A and B are shown apart, each in its own frame.
Chain A
Amino acid sequence: MSLAEASALPPEEPSRALVFWRRYRRNKAAVLGLFLLGVIVLLALTAGLYEPVDPLRRAGEPLIWPFQDWATPLGTDQLGRDILAGIFHGARISLMIGVVATLISIAIGVVIGAIAGYFGGWVDDVLMRVTEAFQTVPNFVLLLTLVAILGSSIENIVLAIGIVSWTAPARLARAEFMSLRRREFIEAVRNLGVGDMAIIFKEILPNALPPVVVYASVIMALAILLESALAFLGLGDPNYASWGNMIGQGRSVLRVEWFVAAIPGIAIVLTVLSFSLLGEGLNEALNPRQKKG
């Protein structure tokens, strides 16, 4: 049949979104991850309905166990704050931290990795030595230092988390750019007279993004964990009911009233789990070739 192929076009393919969803759906765990994430997003969206005033206000007697008093279904902490309200509002903070810190780290990482990978040579050398300098300092130590210097407001915490986690996406983007920049389609557009910046951001970047997007889910999970760890050490922003802050509060009553720390802990576990399952599903849907065999 290939003898008469000149004008005959193959039949129309289903849209990209549909193909993507079909591939994603194949992984049952990834669908569970998406469901969990949906629940968490729902919590964040309806937080104002459950507790419209302030999740940090006193809602009842301190240290009520869960399922005792229906005004505070998941109990209260030692200051009498409703734990369920904290979970609702904490979802907002955790998601916000996850999304914004990830955006910051991906933005820094992709730009640095793209420039290093595309230009190569001394540019690459300089940028990669800087990246390595960042990688040699343990993430959390650097984060503590930054928060200690900047102060522990929520904006600074998000910024600091973004700054400590850009190195991995930078290396990932660099590797993608190094392999893509020598492809013929890049030579083809160079030959059309397209400038370097347009090639980097309009031609290569869309092709380099899938692995970065997959990795973003990992960073999101890490960002939430980092914030919780900060809060656990008492370095979180005390003006927000973040899950990490709640665990930090619960630490002092951990031996008897363990639920105060355990409930937000479970929330964090489920959120991080949802992101990593999501990441796995994205990986299979966006990079189908890696998994064959």
Chain B
Amino acid sequence: MSDVADTPTPILEIENLRVSLPKGADRPYALDGLNLTVNPGEIVCLVGESGSGKSLAAGAVMRLLPEPLVRMSGGSVKFDGQDLSTLTEAQMRGLRGDRMAMIFQEPMTALNPQKTVGWQIDEVLRLHTDMGAKARKARALEMLRDVHIPDPDSAFNAYPHQVSGGQRQRVMIAMALAMSPRLVIADEPTTALDVTTQLQILRLIRELQASQGSGILFITHDFGVVAEIADKVAVLRQGELVEHGPADDVLNRPRHPYTRALIAAVPDLRPPAPRDFSDAPVVLKAEGMLKTFKARGGMFTGKRKAVAAVDHVSFDIRRGETLGVVGESGSGKTTVSRCVTRLLEADGGRAELDGRDILNADARTLRAMRAEIQMVFQDPMASLNPRKRVVDLIAQGPIVHGMNPGKAREKARELLALVELSPAAAERYPHEFSGGQRQRIGIARALAMEPKVIVADEPVSALDVSVQAQVLRLLADLRERLDLSLLFVTHDLRVAAQLCDRVAVMEKGKIVEMGTVAEIFAAPAHPYTRKLLSSIPGRDWVPPVLKDDAA
């Protein structure tokens, strides 16, 4: 790493860092023996799945751990050659925001909703400099310009909710960089953003870092982002550093089995061999589907502008086929999934399930039809009633549709085996499972109704990449075995490329392009599709094909 140009002192030197967890946690140390160096002008990516302790590493550096429950119990953190544990709390406060800064994952919660954007940047300058009010304002506006916010003057006076998510993240970056810090810690700064915005933010971070020469510790779970931005990579598993080195080595020639497995789990952008469905009957057909959201006006304000969330959307899915609906947030892709399942009432158009109209079915017919079109939701925790046992959750649908409860529970237990969960899971409550296991329960619940179509709304986006690969494999396997049709809503083009036969690209409520995965990925016709594809983080990096085991 730095053995060639060893002259500059590293900005950040973490040696044998150990962070203790409270008694009764699943392991004694959140981090154990972590060694990490960040040199000036370097972006070091700390990669790990949820629970690997990567965010606590950031907390330890900033001395912002939730003490005394979680505390540093060993090792040292040196910032610019100075041991941070020797500093007083007041000295630490002086450092934070001035010479070390942090960018958070969720800019909406990291910004104070009650204060204007300008006030919050100003606060950083007020705390750490003795500039006058005018100079501070000029500097704040300059920062906003540097992060390429359109119209900095109006953004200065705006409240956080008045600017878009990507712009909020730009504001966060402006705040972090206002003092030209030596070290920036970015904790999943682009995870909450759309791909196109994500790419812009990643480029912005690179650009500003290059001009200021600060070192960046970039925490992420996404290997695509790593490929996009990293100079060096450190891979964490359960608090232990399993591999670190230059980005090129780790990404293309991983040595540790865990890194290899993680990289093998990253969905490939090359679609699998196409399957032919021209003979299969159409199971689900939507024609000119329409849904507008009218904001409910206040007593005096009157009606606000109606927004067309789904604007004349038409598609069909044949038996056994998977149609991916991809788009960014606000494109209307989730609304499509809610309309065809009648969780939302569409305003117009038609949708036919096996030749029968579902959008206009009366309550009784609809109840019967619901068995044939089932949903798998995004957040497996939120979509399972926390006060019901797993067996009851899965058996509930069949019981509602008149199956004998005893028989329904028996069937639920069989389904647990089908989704590769142990039979002991039946008596547990949802909170006792990990994310991937919960999503399996959600899938089992959908399957219990023996549906023809499953509508999956971002079913893997809340999961770690390795778990995501397993759930995708399970979905693909079940689809083949049960001859299921899938309407697969996702924002992740890598995932779509892996699972879908065809994709429909949505922008602002309209399907702008639809075709087989191979066609769309190889020769996108619509400019928006091209933009989406070119924004996939790490699109030039092809995960190496690794021969050995992937589990």
Contacts and interface: CB of A to CB of B under 8 A. Distances in A.
Contacts of B262: 3
A190 B424 CA distance: 27
B273 interface: no
Contact of A187 (B49, B343, B366, B425): B343
A198 B385 CA distance: 13
A2 to B, nearest CB: 5
A2 B467 contact: yes
B384 A1 contact: no
A5 B445 CA distance: 20
Contacts of A183: 382-383
B418 interface: no
B400 A206 contact: no
B238 A192 contact: no
B146 interface: no
A3 B466 contact: yes
A2 B51 contact: yes
Interface in A178-228: 183-185, 187-194, 198, 203, 206-207
The SS class assigned to the A binding surface is helix
Listed residue (B374, B396, B470) with the most chain A CB atoms within 10 angstroms of its CB: B396
Contact of B261 (A3, A7, A189, A198): A3
B384 A193 contact: no
Contacts of A4: 551
A17 interface: no
B428 A9 contact: yes
A185 B383 contact: yes
A181 to B, nearest CB: 12
Nearest to A10: B432
A1 B261 CA distance: 11
A10 B366 CA distance: 39
A108 to B, nearest CB: 24
Interface string B169-205: 0000000000000000000000000000000000000
Contacts of B303: none
A206 B445 CA distance: 20
A125 to B, nearest CB: 12
A56 to B, nearest CB: 47
A175 B262 CA distance: 43
A184 B375 CA distance: 11
B238 A5 contact: no
A106 B150 CA distance: 54
B464 interface: yes
Contact of A192 (B382, B396, B422): B396
Interface string A5-17: 1110110010000
Contacts of A1: 237-238
B420 to A, nearest CB: 5
B387 A191 contact: no
Closest 8 CB pairs of A and B: A184-B383, A192-B397, A193-B367, A193-B370, A184-B382, A184-B377, A185-B385, A206-B387
Given A4-B551, A187-B383, 13 more contacts: A3-B551, A5-B467, A6-B421, A6-B470, A9-B422, A9-B424, A9-B428, A10-B433, A187-B375, A188-B375, A192-B397, A192-B445, A206-B387
